[in-house]
Amino acid sequence: MLDNVTALDENSFAAFIRQAELPVIVDFWADWCAPCQQLLPLLDEAALQMQGKVLFAKVNTQQAPAVGFQYAIRSIPTLMLFYHGQEITRRAGVMTPAQIRQWLMESMP
């Protein structure tokens, strides 16, 4: 497990994004997905760089299919940005830490 990214499941997801005081970036991924594996260390690096400004979490869509279904995840990896429990935006594909920071800055009101 990545130190800076919180693993969520069907039991913890809703409470985590609803109770977070900071924006939350959630990575929807799966073990078999090569681009997802490529993104994991980049996500950990971004989480370290943005510590105190945003929280990072991940949901394995194979282990928590109801969460993926609830948010109509059609491709992985998909990053979703939540603020006060509400989805702000989403983006599919691998992004570098710099691209994640830029996406966050462009997406927050």
Catalytic residues: 33, 36
Rounded Cα distance, 22 and 71, in Å: 20
Facing residues of 29 across strands? 60
Please enumerate, as own/partner, the contacts of 97-101 that have beta carbons within 8 Å and a separation of 24 or more: 97/42, 97/45, 97/46, 97/49, 100/25, 100/42, 100/43, 100/46, 100/50, 101/46, 101/49, 101/50
Facing residues of 26 across strands? 57, 80
